[in-house]
Amino acid sequence: MFRYTIRRLLFAIPTLIVISFIIFALLDLAPGDPTANLPLTIDAQTREQIRLSLGLGEPFHIRYLAWLNQFFVNEPMNILEQAFGFEFAGSSERLRIRSWSTRSPVVDLIIERTPQTLWVVGMSYVVGILIAIPIGVISAYRQYSWFDQAGTLFSMIGFSVPTFFTGLLLIVIFSTLVPADSWFWLPSIYDTTHRVTDWDSFVLQARQIAMPVTVLALFNAAQISRFMRSSMLDNLSQDYVRTARAKGMREWVVVMIHVLRNSLIPVVTVIALGVPQIFGGAIITEQIFRVNGLGALLIGGIEAADIPLVQTLTFIFAVLIVAFNLIADLLYGILDPRIRYD
């Protein structure tokens, strides 16, 4: 498996280079002017000087190579310096990817917004998995029972109802109809400046993430539970299950150890490929509850035509997709001993 991992990592290098070129080229060709939001009193000559200061006067290939160098060399070196407190040679002259709208380093903006996204979107994904796997297992084991029918209805509702409708519905119920002095009242706007320091602040944090986590967990659980149920049904009819039962194994050992382990193989793909969405943020849900996460950062960059910010965020999402594809493949060998890569 080690040699397979090395091969996949080496193959990922040209893949990421091609992806980076496509992202950079598409966004570079997209219509948009970084000086469009400036006051109309600024003359054309000053606007042109601003464009040149942003590097837009350089040829395409020069700007692309400079962006690659900043992303793969300068930014990792800067992260290492901040993490371990030492400096590389020439740190003061090192160019970084900067936002056109704020002139702040893009990576610093991403690091600043990541905790909010992990708090809300990451927790909702974990909660969705914890809900989906038991529903899928029980629904498959008790096929066509009342629990299976209820699980099917839950999945259909969660997958078909858009998240913006579910979010607005919860806001109307728990933030508008429920009295503000009630224990069931929940805030409709997420306070990103809130810090957990004691029990009361922890309760407030739990209350303000309750609705966005519920909205996203319902959507994620609906999708994963159907994959879990389908995979369990396929394995319950296999010969090895009948053999295990004929040997006198307990039913919970057959289902929870043998069947569940093999059934998780296709589900791992769905879960692993969904992890990059955590870092991308649920854009619609973040807008509804005013969560100042990566999704809101991406929307703000698109609206402001902030090409470096959008390029960097999009490429980071592509890197995460390639990485978690590899992680999913490696988990196959752990879950199923029959799968060998070497």
pTM over 0.75: yes
Closest residue by Cα to residue 287 from 303, 307, 310: 303
Query: Looking at residue 329, what is its pLDDT?
Result: 81
Query: Looking at residue 18, what is its pLDDT?
Result: 94
Residue type, 278: I
Share of the chain above pLDDT 90, in %: 24
CB-CB contact of 293 with 117 (8 Å):
yes
Query: 106-335, what's its fold?
Result: MetI-like fold (1.10.3720)
Cβ–Cβ contacts within 10 Å for residue 285, how many?
25
Give CA–CA dist 259/231, Å, rounded.
9
Q: For residue 177, give Cα distances in angstroms to 162, 186, 187, 190.
A: 22, 11, 12, 19
Cβ partners under 8 Å of residue 36, min gap 6: 305
Q: Which residues of the chain have pLDDT under 50?
A: none
Query: Looking at residue 45, what is its pLDDT?
Result: 81
Each residue of 319-335: pLDDT tens digit?
988 888 888 888 877 77
Closest residue by Cα to residue 34 from 309, 306, 312: 306
Give CA–CA dist 37/306, Å, rounded.
11
Give CA–CA dist 226/269, Å, rounded.
14
Query: Looking at residue 41, what is its pLDDT?
Result: 74
Query: Looking at residue 230, what is its pLDDT?
Result: 92
For the chain, give every domain's residue range: 2-93, 106-335
Each residue of 64-107: pLDDT tens digit?
998 999 898 888 888 888 877 777 776 767 788 888 888 888 99
Query: Looking at residue 16, what is its pLDDT?
Result: 92
CB-CB contact of 120 with 167 (8 Å):
no
